[in-house]
Amino acid sequence: MRQTLGVLGFALCLNMTVHSVTALAADAGNQDFAKGENLLKNKQYAEARVALEAGIMKSPSNVQAHFNLAEACRGLAAWDCAEEHYETALHLDAKSRITGTREPRLSKMKVWQSLEEVTAWRLLEKAKGLIASGRAQPDKMKQAEEALDGANELGLTNEQQAVYQQLEANFPGRRATGSPDNLQPDRSAGEAFQTDPRDVPMALVSAGEFTMGSTLKADEKPVHRVYLDAFSMDKYHVTVGQYAKYLEATGTEAPPEWDIMNQPRHQKRPVVNVSWSDAATYCKWAGKRLPTEAEWEKAARGTDARLYPWGNEPPTRLHANFGKKQWASHMALVPVGMFEMGKSPYGIYDMAGNAWEWVNDWYDHDYYKKSPMKNPQGPATGKSKVVRGGNWLYVQEFLRASFRFNADPSGRQFGYGFRCAKSS
């Protein structure tokens, strides 16, 4: 008994010690945070950054501290640092809302706008460096063009626009790809994206076999070979701007939250909140159709059984838009066509992340066990439809090219969008 009480006493003392150390660290962090905030108000950005980083080392979950550190880094033009801490602040803010803690709430719209602004600055700086070091190197100049296009897609402030135009002068005769109406899916050919949403760039997927499914998830088994006739797939998600033209032309009822989506800064982002029927009807209006599940997977992964559209390398921020926590009034999505490194083997953009994509098929957990080997069309009936590709919200497993997800076809969710296909 005496031994048991001794052990309990030691455990209690140890627990009190741990809590005391944690409390002291938090207090020390708060002192650094207060100091950093005052320095930030006085625009002493370097000193504020040092103080805030010291505080975060002691107390890493303070939402406001990460936001303030992002602001300090922004003042120092340390764009990578600013991006990292704006994103961390958003993540921690979302977590605190879920757990109900009494952390100060951030204005998500303000943070998202700041995040996009510093990302655009980072891309402009990247382009500037590539141009300075790579005038005689075509690969670096191409990377510089891609960085410029990425910055322009995010929307530029007046100051950024001036820098952008100076850098653009290094590419005489180049047509900027700053909006979905001007996207150039094949820059070498100079093919322009047409203003009519029914006439958009498509990628040809040639006839032949590919490997479908995987051993990583029960409904992706068995791995099997499938033959598909040739077809074409939209290179980009259908955007808000394109969907707006469709609504205007047809008088169709707008999806939920349309007044939020249909803002000037969102015209280049994927349209979401659309049901399966909404997507299928749009594609029919455009003279196309939704892709089958098999067509979608082949367009995403090609014929070499890769894990992701770009290959087997795990997803990063250079490949796809994913891992965000809040829709944030459509700011969680990014403009289409930004991720050059994330393209599929057929040159199709954003087949992982950004927005789930409706496909034509009904969902059946065991369909692959009985699926035909040629041009499978999915089950004849079902209760849910298949969506593919993951979106801005979910973790990297959902970005695998073989990953299957089922959804209520009448559902209109913040993460559900689409692209169209066409038989060749």
The pLDDT of residue 405 is 95
The answer to whether 373 and 336 have CB atoms below 8 angstroms apart is: no
The pLDDT of residue 149 is 79
The pLDDT of residue 177 is 42
The pLDDT of residue 410 is 94
Tell me how far apart the alpha carbons of residues 400 and 142 are, in angstroms, rounded to a whole number: 28
pTM: 0.62
> Nearest 5°: phi and psi at 208?
145, 180
DSSP string, 262-273: SSGGGTTSBP-S
Tell me how far apart the alpha carbons of residues 270 and 72 are, in angstroms, rounded to a whole number: 32
Q: Each residue of 26-59: b (16+ CB within 10 Å) or e?
A: beebeebbebbbebbeeebbeebbbbbbbbbebb
In order along its 424 residues, the chain shows pLDDT tens digits of 444 434 344 343 444 443 444 444 456 678 999 999 999 999 999 999 999 999 999 999 898 999 999 999 999 999 999 989 988 887 787 666 555 565 566 776 677 778 888 988 999 999 999 988 877 688 888 888 888 877 876 667 888 888 988 998 888 866 444 433 333 333 332 333 446 888 899 999 999 999 999 999 999 999 999 999 999 999 999 999 999 999 999 999 999 999 999 988 889 999 999 999 999 999 999 999 999 999 999 999 999 999 999 999 999 878 999 888 778 888 889 889 888 889 999 999 999 999 999 999 999 999 999 999 999 999 999 999 999 999 998 678 899 999 999 999 999 988 899 999 999 8
Q: Enumerate domains of the chain plus CATH numbers.
A: 22-106 (1.25.40.10), 116-178 (no CATH), 202-423 (3.90.1580.10)
The answer to whether 347 and 405 have CB atoms below 8 angstroms apart is: no
The pLDDT of residue 180 is 38
Tell me how far apart the alpha carbons of residues 362 and 378 are, in angstroms, rounded to a whole number: 6
Q: Give the residue among 156, 153, 143, 155 at the shortest CA–CA distance from 180.
A: 153
Q: Give the rounded distance of the alpha carbon of 260 from its chain centre.
A: 18
